[in-house]
Amino acid sequence: MPKSTTGGWQDRRAEGKSFRDAVPREALGDWKPAADRPDPVQLILTTNQGRQERYVPLRMGRMAESPFGFLRGAAAVMTADLAASVTSGIHGGICGDAHFANFGLFGTAQRDVTLDLNDFDEARLGPWEWDLKRLCISINVYARQAGLPRKQRASVVERCSRGYRQQAITLQDKGALHIWYLNLFPGEGEPLDRLDPKYVSLLRRALDKARTQNSDTALDKLAERDAKGAWRLKPAPPVLSRVDGKTRHAVEAALADYVESLPRERRSLMRHYRVADIGHRVGGVGSAGVRNYVILMFGACANDGLVLQVKEATAPVPVEGLPGLPPDLAAHHGRRVVFYQRLMQASGDILLGWTSIDGRAYYVRQQRNLKGQIPVERFDSGNWQRYAYTLGGLLARAHARSGDIALIAGYCGSSQVLDEAMARWAEAYGDQTVMDHAQLVEAIQHKKVRALAG
């Protein structure tokens, strides 16, 4: 959303505060399913349309494993529910699927490891709080599975909202260039010796592991040499499988348009590489069934390997009343994903680009770019408090790049009103998610929905 054309950040903050007159912050904490709420299982089934049918049962099985698995795959359900609820009225670029598992470690162009939001398949223009609610509900639902009682999970969600709100206030008067340079490098510039030793240990192990995740280690895991010594992808069905000749030709031909989507100097970089093999890889919960290819490439020698991911980019869930996308982004969803990733991430993949295959939009990135995850399954309540606060701040930083952070800060305010509203909403919508998940499990048990475990 364009910034106000009059006044400085103080005026925009005051304008943001005025939005509370129409929609008080407390109202964002209300959840009640609409009378005409779509059946969640049927809505999920509609999102399977256009996916590869043989992998849809795997997606359903993954969603049925737990309420959190359901939540990860049910972005369409939550978007429909948010669209039927009150909003702040302040719009900007949003991730659209900002659950905590879509934050992670990855490499910068300088080969540092940074922590940031890293999934933009659902990115669009929309209300900023939709992202915050997605983050808060993911924490609430996962905390339930981890056995945290209601009071503790409410405290963690409040901490997340506070991290968002306080970072928005910190950034409200900062220059755009200052915000653009902001990165979070975990463990650097932080008084680690003052933190919980268990948290420090988990963080350092995750960073050490992420630093090893590159094309060299991808080769060891994904590929093997054939009888003639040539590298080939190692089949591991159903996750990684070979493609037929027609598919390989189509994917390889699409690389030309991908290279043209890169900045000119990176086109020169890519011209050093040649394709060795192409395979199909099944994505995660939300991505299972979308076309997702792995390209094994080499440069001048066998020690110069590169592994690219070519992933289908589908349209986000349609929502009436939201600002429309620019024509070029609306026409190619791979380009949309790339645009919002470059806009909202502090340091992106230098090989991020887009292409088309058989009339479908795709985006392309490195398969392993110093990627890693923080091991939240080993967190206690105290560690969750710190991590949730960090994620809230990272989300605010992303919104400061894609929207007007002074408007948002004015709406959020300096009190705990928003934090308490987010905790109340997350608990109520968490109950709804548990019921929706149970409905999917029941549909599978009654053979109305076909599912495979794993």
3-state secondary structure string across 115-154: EEECCCCCCEEEEHHHHHHHHHHHHHHHHHHCCCCHHHHH
Phi, psi (deg, nearest 5) at residue 275: -75, 130
Q: Are 99 and 71 in contact (CB under 8 A)?
A: yes
pTM, two decimal places: 0.92
- Per-residue confidence (pLDDT) for residue 304, from 0 to 100: 86
For residue 206, the surrounding DSSP H or E stretch is: helix 197-210
- Per-residue confidence (pLDDT) for residue 195, from 0 to 100: 55
What contacts 415, CB < 8 A, 6 or more positions away? Answer: none
At 332-369, the pLDDT tens digits run: 999 999 999 999 998 889 999 999 999 999 999 998 77
Beta-carbon count within 10 A of 192 CB? 16
What contacts 127, CB < 8 A, 6 or more positions away? Answer: 82, 87, 88, 89, 90, 91, 94
Residue 127 pLDDT class (50, 70, 90 cuts): very high
Residue 376 pLDDT class (50, 70, 90 cuts): confident
- Calculate what percentage of the chain has a pLDDT beyond 70: 95
At 391-432, the pLDDT tens digits run: 999 999 999 999 999 999 999 999 999 999 999 999 999 999
- Per-residue confidence (pLDDT) for residue 114, from 0 to 100: 83
- Per-residue confidence (pLDDT) for residue 191, from 0 to 100: 42
Residue 95 pLDDT class (50, 70, 90 cuts): very high
Q: Are 366 and 309 in contact (CB under 8 A)?
A: yes
For residue 23, the surrounding DSSP H or E stretch is: none
Average pLDDT of span 228-250 = 91
- Per-residue confidence (pLDDT) for residue 193, from 0 to 100: 45
3-state secondary structure string across 329-352: HHHCHHHHHHHHHHHHCCCCCCCC
What's the sign of the alpha-carbon dihedral 324, 328, 330, 334?
negative
For residue 3, the surrounding DSSP H or E stretch is: none
- Per-residue confidence (pLDDT) for residue 454, from 0 to 100: 63
pLDDT at 302 over 90: no
Tokens at residue 35, please?
């009378």
At 173-200, the pLDDT tens digits run: 999 999 988 887 765 545 434 456 777 7
Contacts of residues 99-103 at CB distance under 8 Å and 24 or more positions apart, as own/partner, are: 99/71, 99/72, 99/134, 99/135, 99/137, 99/138, 100/135, 100/138, 100/139, 100/142, 100/376, 100/388, 100/391, 101/72, 101/138, 101/373, 103/374, 103/391, 103/394
- Calculate what percentage of the chain has a pLDDT beyond 90: 71
- Per-residue confidence (pLDDT) for residue 375, from 0 to 100: 85
